[in-house]
């Protein structure tokens, strides 16, 4: 069974991947699609409601339009808030690519569309000889790149886009997330990114997220470009039925 969905990666860690992923889940649910969030590897857990859970996993679980367990959304949750391969070493665990892929395919049996969020950036190591980009290649999902708008973002975005293309992955589009609203020439940076990512990779902007006081899933979803999302993911077609 092939997967239908997208893989959300970022130009760096802490650029808003989870907020964008939750926004995508909300947008899909509002459009009538059964959407499931999936965070294959998550590092950093805290005790909430009497259980240890990663906050990114919890947000994706709450934003999904299906009732899902913590484990279904986040099959590999690691306690230490550090690079995943280091967190796994501390717990004497091995992050297994095959099991992560099985988890995605199991979710696909319930959902119309998967929103898969990576850990950190594109090439974060997940073991001694493999990284997050290899998981992306195995899942064969189009990629959504979250660009954190701050000084240096143009270079980071273009380098990440080149790495995505080099792995034979399709860059479906990108989302600008405003990290520094006082960034000099903010709009000019967005325009440059729009021009260069279209010119080099035919990747449109899927949304520009301002700095939000309350960045919940609905607030983020309000800033997506609906026509671009529908076009890039074939969502103009009739919804799948049970």
Residues forming the active site: 39
Beta bridge partners of 131: 125
Those residues with Cβ within 8 angstroms of residue 166's Cβ, 6 or more apart along the chain or in another chain: none
List strand residue ranges (DSSP E) for the chain, in order: 5-10, 35-38, 41-43, 46-48, 51-53, 76-78, 113-117, 143-149, 171-178, 205-209
For residue 234 the two structure tokens come to: 């074939």
Q: How far apart are CA 124 and CA 121, in angstroms?
A: 6
* 48, β-bridge pairs: 51
């Amino acid at each position: 069974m092939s997967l239908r969905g997208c893989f959300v990666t970022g130009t760096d860690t802490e650029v808003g991947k989870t907020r964008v992923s939750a926004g995508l889940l909300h947008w899909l649910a509002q459009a009538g699609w059964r959407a499931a969030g999936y965070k294959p590897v998550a590092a950093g857990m805290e005790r909430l409601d009497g259980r240890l859970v990663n906050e990114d996993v919890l947000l994706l679980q709450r934003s999904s339009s299906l009732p899902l367990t913590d484990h279904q959304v986040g099959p590999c949750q690691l306690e230490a808030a550090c690079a995943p391969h280091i967190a796994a070493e501390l717990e004497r665990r091995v992050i297994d690519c095959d099991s992560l892929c099985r988890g995605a395919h199991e979710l696909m049996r319930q959902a119309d569309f998967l929103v898969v969020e990576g850990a950190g950036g594109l090439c974060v190591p997940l073991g001694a000889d493999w990284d997050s980009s290899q998981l992306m290649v195995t899942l064969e999902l189009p990629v959504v790149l979250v660009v954190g708008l701050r000084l240096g973002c143009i270079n980071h975005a273009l380098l990440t886009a080149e790495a995505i293309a080099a792995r034979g992955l399709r860059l479906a589009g990108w989302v600008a997330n405003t990290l520094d609203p006082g960034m000099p020439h903010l709009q000019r940076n967005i325009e440059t990114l729009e021009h260069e990512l279209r010119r080099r990779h035919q990747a449109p902007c899927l949304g520009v997220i301002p700095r939000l006081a309350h960045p919940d899933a609905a607030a983020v979803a309000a800033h997506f470009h609906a026509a671009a999302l529908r076009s890039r993911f074939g969502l103009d077609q009739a919804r799948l039925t049970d």
